[in-house]
């Protein structure tokens, strides 16, 4: 899955509980008497399902009582009452059952109370007119306290006694009524003797269930459901024996999801103004269970045979090529796909029903196709070309051919993530796949890198999959690393290096916080699964792989190691150690990769390496680079650091690079006494920060002041990043930062300039929000003075080089943002030209953002821009317009746009995180945005799951600019009031820490700024 900045991954809106589920809810079915545990078979009069006995369960009596009461609440209330709808969200559920494990008198009282409430509710429902909630009409039976067989499993993870082998799915989606029926046949093998089968199902109304053991007859069975954990279960009176095979068939119905996960419906307006509907899937991480009952954990791999019934004028796609199409007697046709030729995890299953047109091409006997809605077909050529080249590259690089016969890439209107790597059917947001004829190289860079990421997953993730979400980085860190690595080779003109460098800097910034976590970290709830999709799994994961690759001796060693890993574990699941072991096995110099890398994956954070030098002796010491506001938190973490360095003797070519492994607290090595300066972490390929001490920094500063080209541009950018980080840590005075930046007027390369601008801009924003007006003015003068000549050199014409585009857009967005007259005039002129030409004249792609931002500041142009936004069809451009609109400094417009984003008509709700983060950057809007989030919190977590990347973005952007005690108190007060509605999120801890750090930095440096700025 590719989250991409500001692209929320999925959205949950739990509004699907209007209908009575068809599963026999024993708690509600008053005809169901108290059961004798010895009872082998019992058929309730009004039930369509046969109970095949209810075996003993694993819980003791007290647990059982309490469990059962909690379940009664869950089952009886949650799915009936729309007033209690929010309770049905897994994120706002009742107290978890584990709180019941120590029963007390109080527990018993509560349990009894639950039963009374349930009984009263039953009575109320009984008297409702027409017995609204039953399908069989009013029931006349005597209402007694319902007793229900206990749900036989009390853990978040499924038991391992049963393994699914194959799924046979038949789906019948009705796009007119936005619902579907399905039938799922699951073949399983028993691994250990057991009396139960537990699997996942969410929001599915199971109407019929049959079970068949070995060669026995299929018979009806009762399915128990425990909604808070989205699990269903079968209980057996007799043990299923290891080695037996069994088949479970489940028929069910459900609504198509209105959110962006599960089997969801989506619509768009075509060029003739007609509303078009489609249905698509997004299953990662936990939503396959919303489309079919399944063992929805990545380690339960199986094969899938999928059949979809459709109207003749729709088309369908799935992971595999279509095998045949058969007419059905109800006017529909059935598409049957080939059975998957590979075992795969449930989260990778995908199917789509709608109208899409492909462009296709054969690449080494694999049919590669790019699908879009018909009117955007001409935007697919670039993606087809990039995907073909990248597929060739990966086939070759991994020495394993893509195992399926076809590979589809499809742009879905209304898709929340950046893209999703479903095996053989990769789904994309339109922005991440479609490239207009006139698109700039920067837009192509976005598309190519998303494709590169998702294609890498076809091996890393799909072929070899992490066993559990705690090792999500094995998927995401790898795909992120490969995305940059492959593009450097396949499409070097896209200049992907600067982006990767910036990504590593941001990963360091996040990982420096105390709220960060180890790359491999325990995951025991749906919220924690969501939270794994963060910069540690993606960007830090990619950074440590780069560091490893750069430190291995022999240039193919890394590649050989991962080929070994992919071959050894092909079709299987792994954990982090498996990867390190494979890399250790191929090591030519017996480097212990496991030993080195586990220090990077098993503990959070990264080291600060401090250099001190006496004559020819260099001493390095390491400590945890931990940003804390109290200075009291210390850790004894040590890393196995492959420290690299260059010196004034030889500093540019790769051969100059020296390696020193620092495993202990400190270590020494020698350099010739004549060496004037050392630069550590050559080209910033290592995941650490370096402090050179006063003399070391002074020597580097002098060298740069003399000649910027004594270091690579990555090394220059790395010095800038590191010195700002050290200032934030409190190790260097801000005066030293400014001293280093004195060289910057001679800088012409993209990465040092963009890093310096980003860092200065952060401080500018903090000063602005603290209303330190004189310092704001001085900071503005400082930036315009140091970068002015470079800003003035930028042209406003088409520019082919990606690197130059990146440089230009950063400089001009800063200049215009600071109201530099030169800049704003040019931008206004370009906008006027664009409007006058009826949006046919072209604004260079990298300049669109700055032009729209400037336009949005004008009272006349803002409505014009809004109008353009409403009519624009090309998604990449549309999003830039939206960011422009949200950058307005008019308070009423800000309030309007926030509300429009939440409402979702004019501005899709999927764009709300982008709107909020843009509004928060401006002085006029940041407090409105914070208010908005507090007032609408419950609606926000209905749309975006607690812990999700979207919520992380919203919290971070709203709070990261506060730097006062008053705001700290407010933020703390608000989030602690949320309780189970999100107070425990890691991003909340991160927000509080960030505010404390901002406050500390400001208090410490305001004087320095007044003196030196
Ligand atoms: Zn991914």
* pLDDT at residue 993 is higher than 50: yes
Between 88-97, 292-301, 911-920, 966-975, the lowest mean confidence (pLDDT) is in 88-97
Tokens representing residue 28 in the block: 């509600």
* pLDDT at residue 23 is higher than 50: no
Residues catalogued as catalytic: 454
Centre of ligand 1 to C-alpha 397, Å, is 19
Centre of ligand 1 to C-alpha 38, Å, is 50
Looking at residues 962-990, what average pLDDT do you find?
Answer: 93
Looking at residues 816-842, what average pLDDT do you find?
Answer: 93
pLDDT tier at 92, thresholds 50, 70, 90: very low
527 marked as binding residue:
no
Q: Give residue 88's pLDDT.
A: 35
Percent of the chain surpassing pLDDT 70: 85
Tens of pLDDT, residues 592-646 = 898 899 999 999 999 999 999 999 999 999 999 999 877 666 788 999 999 999 9
How many Cβ atoms are within 10 Å of 284's Cβ, its own excluded?
Answer: 27
Centre of ligand 1 to C-alpha 230, Å, is 25
Q: What is the DSSP letter of 132?
A: T
CA 346, chain centre distance (Å): 18
Centre of ligand 1 to C-alpha 549, Å, is 20
Centre of ligand 1 to C-alpha 523, Å, is 18
Q: Which residues contact 540 (CB under 8 A, 6 or more apart)?
A: 473, 477, 507, 510, 511, 519, 687
Looking at residues 869-876, what average pLDDT do you find?
Answer: 87
CA distances from 664 to 519, 597, 634, 667, 668 (A): 21, 15, 17, 7, 11
Centre of ligand 1 to C-alpha 421, Å, is 7
Query: What is the SS3 assignment for 316-348?
Result: EEECCCEEEEEECCCCCEEEEECCCCCCECHHH
Cα separation, 701 vs 244, in Å, equals: 72
* pLDDT at residue 95 is higher than 50: no
Q: Give residue 954's pLDDT.
A: 95
Query: What is the SS3 assignment for 262-313?
Result: EEEEEEEECCCCCEEEEEEEECCCCCHHHCCCECCCCCCCEEEEEEEEECCC
- Cβ 151 vs Cβ 159: under 8 Å: no
Cα separation, 881 vs 819, in Å, equals: 19
Cα separation, 916 vs 897, in Å, equals: 9
Which residues keep their CB under 5 angstroms from ion ligand 1?
A: 1-2, 476, 479
CA 46, chain centre distance (Å): 46
The number of helix segments (H) and strand segments (E) in the chain equals 30, 29
Tokens representing residue 522 in the block: 């325990």
Between 59-63, 176-180, 865-869, the lowest mean confidence (pLDDT) is in 59-63
871 marked as binding residue:
no
* pLDDT at residue 221 is higher than 70: yes
* pLDDT at residue 325 is higher than 90: yes
How many Cβ atoms are within 10 Å of 833's Cβ, its own excluded?
Answer: 13
Binning the chain into helix, strand and coil, the percentages to the nearest 5 are: 45, 20, 35
Half-sphere exposure (CA, 13 Å, Cβ side) for 1011?
A: 9
Cα separation, 903 vs 905, in Å, equals: 6
Centre of ligand 1 to C-alpha 475, Å, is 7
In this structure, the chain runs to a length of 1013
Edge-to-edge strands of the sheet including 303-310?
219-220, 205-213, 245-255, 179-190, 162-174, 303-310, 333-337, 322-327
Q: Which is more confidently placed, 281 or 130? A: 281
> Is the previous residue joined to 528 through a cis bond, with omega within 30 degrees of 0?
no
* Among the listed residues 650, 661, 669, the one whose alpha carbon sits nearest the alpha carbon of residue 688: 661
Q: Which is more confidently placed, 322 or 11? A: 322
Looking at residues 756-760, what average pLDDT do you find?
Answer: 97
**Helices 861-871 and 875-886, axial angle in degrees (round to 10):** 150
Q: Which is more confidently placed, 165 or 24? A: 165
* pLDDT at residue 51 is higher than 80: no
Looking at residues 17-21, what average pLDDT do you find?
Answer: 29
Cα separation, 128 vs 20, in Å, equals: 14
Centre of ligand 1 to C-alpha 247, Å, is 33
pLDDT tier at 588, thresholds 50, 70, 90: confident
Cα separation, 389 vs 378, in Å, equals: 19
Centre of ligand 1 to C-alpha 856, Å, is 34
Q: Which residues contact 104 (CB under 8 A, 6 or more apart)?
A: none
Q: Give residue 147's pLDDT.
A: 58
Which H or E run includes 689? strand 689-691
**Region for 360 from its dihedrals, namely left if φ exceeds 0, alpha if ψ lies in -120 to 50, beta otherwise:** beta
* Among the listed residues 453, 170, 512, the one whose alpha carbon sits nearest the alpha carbon of residue 310: 170
CA distances from 316 to 334, 403, 427 (A): 10, 21, 14
Centre of ligand 1 to C-alpha 952, Å, is 17
Q: Give residue 328's pLDDT.
A: 96
Q: Give residue 511's pLDDT.
A: 96
pLDDT tier at 417, thresholds 50, 70, 90: confident
Centre of ligand 1 to C-alpha 466, Å, is 13
Between 74-88, 647-661, 733-747, 977-991, the lowest mean confidence (pLDDT) is in 74-88
Centre of ligand 1 to C-alpha 7, Å, is 13
Tokens representing residue 212 in the block: 């068949």
Centre of ligand 1 to C-alpha 581, Å, is 23
Edge-to-edge strands of the sheet including 617-624?
666-670, 617-624, 607-614, 689-691
pLDDT tier at 144, thresholds 50, 70, 90: low
Tens of pLDDT, residues 351-360 = 999 999 999 9
Q: What is the DSSP letter of 771?
A: T
Between 362-371, 538-547, 974-983, the lowest mean confidence (pLDDT) is in 974-983
Centre of ligand 1 to C-alpha 417, Å, is 10
* Among the listed residues 309, 311, 306, 384, the one whose alpha carbon sits nearest the alpha carbon of residue 351: 306
Cα separation, 827 vs 445, in Å, equals: 24
200 marked as binding residue:
no
Tens of pLDDT, residues 173-220 = 999 999 999 999 999 999 999 999 999 999 999 999 999 999 999 999
Half-sphere exposure (CA, 13 Å, Cβ side) for 308?
A: 29
pLDDT tier at 108, thresholds 50, 70, 90: low
Centre of ligand 1 to C-alpha 461, Å, is 8
Quote the mean pLDDT of the chain: 86
Q: Give residue 110's pLDDT.
A: 56
Centre of ligand 1 to C-alpha 343, Å, is 19
Between 126-130, 176-180, 270-274, 504-508, the lowest mean confidence (pLDDT) is in 126-130
Cα separation, 562 vs 583, in Å, equals: 7
Tens of pLDDT, residues 938-947 = 999 988 888 8
């Amino acid at each position: 899955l590719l989250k991409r900045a500001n692209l929320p991954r999925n959205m949950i809106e739990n509004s699907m509980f209007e209908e009575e589920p068809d599963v026999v809810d024993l708690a509600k079915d008053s005809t169901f008497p108290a059961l004798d545990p010895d009872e082998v078979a019992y058929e309730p009069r009004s039930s369509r399902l046969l109970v095949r006995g209810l075996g003993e369960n694993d819980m003791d009596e007290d647990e059982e009582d309490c469990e059962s009461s909690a379940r009664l609440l869950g089952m009886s209330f949650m799915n009936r009452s729309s007033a209690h709808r929010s309770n049905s969200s897994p994120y706002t559920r009742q107290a978890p059952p584990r709180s019941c494990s120590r029963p007390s008198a109080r527990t018993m009282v509560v349990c009894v109370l639950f039963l009374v409430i349930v009984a009263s509710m039953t009575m109320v429902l009984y008297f409702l007119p027409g017995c609204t909630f039953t399908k069989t009409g009013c029931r006349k039976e005597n209402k007694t306290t319902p007793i229900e067989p206990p749900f036989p499993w009390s853990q978040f993870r499924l038991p391992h006694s049963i393994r699914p082998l194959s799924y046979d799915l038949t789906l019948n989606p009705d796009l007119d009524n936005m619902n579907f029926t399905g039938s799922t046949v699951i073949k399983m093998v028993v691994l250990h003797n057991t009396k139960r089968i537990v699997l996942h199902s969410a929001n599915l109304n199971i109407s019929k269930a049959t079970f068949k053991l070995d060669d026995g007859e299929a018979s009806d069975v009762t399915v128990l459901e425990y909604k808070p954990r989205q699990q269903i279960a079968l209980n057996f009176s007799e043990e299923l024996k290891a080695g037996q095979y069994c088949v479970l068939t489940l028929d069910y119905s459900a609504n198509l999801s209105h959110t962006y996960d599960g089997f969801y419906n989506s619509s768009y307006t075509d060029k003739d103004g007609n509303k078009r509907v489609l249905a698509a899937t997004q299953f990662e991480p936990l939503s396959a269970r919303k489309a079919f009952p399944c063992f929805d954990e990545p380690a339960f791999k199986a094969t899938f045979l999928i059949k979809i019934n459709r109207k003749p004028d729709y088309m369908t796609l799935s992971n595999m090529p279509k095998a045949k199409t058969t007419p059905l007697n109800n006017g529909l046709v059935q598409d049957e796909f080939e059975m998957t030729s590979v075992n795969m995890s449930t989260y990778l299953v995908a199917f789509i029903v709608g109208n899409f047109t492909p462009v296709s091409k054969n690449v080494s006997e694999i049919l590669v196709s790019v699908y879009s809605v018909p009117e955007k077909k001409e935007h697919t050529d670039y993606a087809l070309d990039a995907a073909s080249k990248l597929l060739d590259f990966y086939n070759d690089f991994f020495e394993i051919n893509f195992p399926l016969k076809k590979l589809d890439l499809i742009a879905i209107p209304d898709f929340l993530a950046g893209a999703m790597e479903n095996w053989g059917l990769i789904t994309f947001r339109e922005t991440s796949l479609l490239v207009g004829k006139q698109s700039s190289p920067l837009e192509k860079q976005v598309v190519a890198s998303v494709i590169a990421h998702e294609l890498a997953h076809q091996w890393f993730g799909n072929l070899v999959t992490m066993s559990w979400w705690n090792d999500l980085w094995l998927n995401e860190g790898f795909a992120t690393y490969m995305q940059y690595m492959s593009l450097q080779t396949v499409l070097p003109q896209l200049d992907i290096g600067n982006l990767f460098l910036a990504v590593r800097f941001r990963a360091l910034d996040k990982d420096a916080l105390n709220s960060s976590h180890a790359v491999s970290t325990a995951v025991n709830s749906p919220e924690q699964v969501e939270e794994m999709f963060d910069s540690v799994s993606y960007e830090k994961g990619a950074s440590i792989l780069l560091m490893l690759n750069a430190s291995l001796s022999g240039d193919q060693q890394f590649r050989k190691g991962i080929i070994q890993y992919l071959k050894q574990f092909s079709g299987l699941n792994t954990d982090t150690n498996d990867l390190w072991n494979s890399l250790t096995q191929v090591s030519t110099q017996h480097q212990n990769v496991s030993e080195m890398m586990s220090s990077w994956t098993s503990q959070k954070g990264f080291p600060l390496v401090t250099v001190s030098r006496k004559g020819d002796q260099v001493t390095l010491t390491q400590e945890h680079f931990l940003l804390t506001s109290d200075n009291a938190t210390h850790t004894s973490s040590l890393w196995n650091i492959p420290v690299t360095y260059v010196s004034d003797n030889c500093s540019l070519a790769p051969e100059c690079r020296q390696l020193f492994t620092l495993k202990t607290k400190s270590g020494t090595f020698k350099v010739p006494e004549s060496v004037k300066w050392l630069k550590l972490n050559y080209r910033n390929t290592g995941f650490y920060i370096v402090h050179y001490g006063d003399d070391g920094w002074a020597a580097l500063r002098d060298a740069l002041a003399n000649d910027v080209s004594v270091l690579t541009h990555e090394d220059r950018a790395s010095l800038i990043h590191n010195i700002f980080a050290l200032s934030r840590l409190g190790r260097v005075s801000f005066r030293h930062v400014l001293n280093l930046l004195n060289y910057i007027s001679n800088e012409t390369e993209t990465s040092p300039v963009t890093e310096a601008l980003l860092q200065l801009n952060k401080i500018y924003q903090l000063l602005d929000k603290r209303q330190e007006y004189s310092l704001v003015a001085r900071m503005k003068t400082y930036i315009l003075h140091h970068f002015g000549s470079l800003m003035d050199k930028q042209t406003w014409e088409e520019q082919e080089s990606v690197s130059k585009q990146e440089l230009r857009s950063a400089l001009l967005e800063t200049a215009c943002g600071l109201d530099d007259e030169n800049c704003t005039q040019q931008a206004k002129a370009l906008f006027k030209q664009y409007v006058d030409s009826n949006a046919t004249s072209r604004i260079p792609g990298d300049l669109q953002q700055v032009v729209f931002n400037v336009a949005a500041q004008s009272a006349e142009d803002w409505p014009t821009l809004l109008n353009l936004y409403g009519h624009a069809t090309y998604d990449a451009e549309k999003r830039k317009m939206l960011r422009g609109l949200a950058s307005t400094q008019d308070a009423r417009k800000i309030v309007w746009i926030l509300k429009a984003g939440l409402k979702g008509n004019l501005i899709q709700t999927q764009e709300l995180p982008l709107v909020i983060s843009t509004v928060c950057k401006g002085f006029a809007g940041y407090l409105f945005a914070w208010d908005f989030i507090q007032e609408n919190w419950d609606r926000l977590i209905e749309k975006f799951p607690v812990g999700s990347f979207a919520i992380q973005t919203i919290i971070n952007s709203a709070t990261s600019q506060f730097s006062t005690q008053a705001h700290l108190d407010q933020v703390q007060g608000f989030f602690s009031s949320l309780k189970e509605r999100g107070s425990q999120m890691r991003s909340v801890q991160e927000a509080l820490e960030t505010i404390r750090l901002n406050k500390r930095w400001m208090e410490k440096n305001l004087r320095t700024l007044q003196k030196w700025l």
